[in-house]
Structure 1
Amino acid sequence: MSDHADEITPERRARGLEIMRNVYGGDHDDEGPGDFFGMTVEHLFAEVWSREGISNRDRRLLLLGLLVGQGMDDPVEVQLDAAIRTGDLTPGELREIVVFLTHYAGWPRGSRLNTQVEELIARVMRS
């Protein structure tokens, strides 16, 4: 098995950073030493998020469902914010996601998601 550092190329890192910027709608610098950030950029974004077959919007919907189902509120907020900023999802679509996921993830998680969505929409409307 090869060491992760052997697989790093400047092109792969640049591709991963560009995809990460597209997914999260912001400036993500080549930050952070260590293997975790490198694996995130060079594998998750350069290899997984760049695959053909489904859109980034579809990936975001799948990820939101998974995160809500697991009760992972902090990553949900990151994904909701990115979904609005990148234009992947509209406020109306986010509200529909709340209704849908509430029936599968449970009322308490749906209630928390609703609060997150409505707070995000209110912030966006103010800015």
Structure 2
Amino acid sequence: MTDKFADLPEQRARGLRKMEQVYGFDMTDGDGDFFRYTADHLFADIWTRPGLTDRDRRLLLIGMLAGQGAADVLGIQIPAAHAAGELSDEALREIVVFLSHYAGWPQGARLNSVVEETIAKSRREKAGF
């Protein structure tokens, strides 16, 4: 299997590989400072530091995103965590109950929608629909 990022500088390649792992979908290289900081710093450096597992980082991120009401980004992170096996159906539902009490019920309701959509989609895919 060839590494599609082999021709890129090591830091960018490491960042793009980690982005694929975290997001659960194929990444391509991008342009501009925002993409550079995202790939080269956030994913190549921060997401690969020792001390926390990807699951730990994901839980922290989900909590912060729920508190901010960032349902759009939760719509990326929740399905990716579920697909990667980092968070089960039961764990996702428990996160909703827990965070609703700290982030507020409206934020929890949005989070619950993302979680239940993720679980339903996963079940449909497993059933071949």
Alignment RMSD, CA only?
A: 1.1
2:49 maps to amino acid: R
Match of 2:101 in 1: 103
5 Å-filtered alignment, 1:63-82, equals: 63-82=61-80
What whole-Å deviation, never above 9, does each CA across 1:65-98 have from its counterpart, x for those lacking one? 0000011110111111111121111111100000
* 1:23 to partner: Cα distance: 1.0
* 1:14 to partner: Cα distance: 0.8
Runs (4+) of structure 1 exceeding 6 A deviation are none
Greater Cα shift, 43-52 or 83-92: 83-92
SS in structure 2 opposite 1:38? helix
Match of 2:25 in 1: 26
Match of 1:114 in 2: 112
Match of 2:16 in 1: 17
Identity %: 58
Partners of 1:26 and 1:66 lie apart in 2 by 22
5 Å-filtered alignment, 1:41-52, equals: 41-52=39-50
Conservation of the 8 A alpha-carbon contact between 1:24 and 1:86: no
* 1:99 to partner: Cα distance: 0.6
Q: How many residues align?
A: 118
SS in structure 2 opposite 1:80? helix
What whole-Å deviation, never above 9, does each CA across 1:12-43 have from its counterpart, x for those lacking one? 1111111111111221122x211111110000
* 1:45 to partner: Cα distance: 0.5
Conservation of the 8 A alpha-carbon contact between 2:66 and 2:111: yes
For structure 2, which runs of at least 5 residues remain unmatched after alignment? 1-7
Match of 1:3 in 2: none
Match of 1:91 in 2: 89
Q: Give the TM-score of the pair, scaled to structure 1.
A: 0.88
Greater Cα shift, 60-69 or 18-27: 18-27
* 1:54 to partner: Cα distance: 0.5
Conservation of the 8 A alpha-carbon contact between 2:69 and 2:110: no
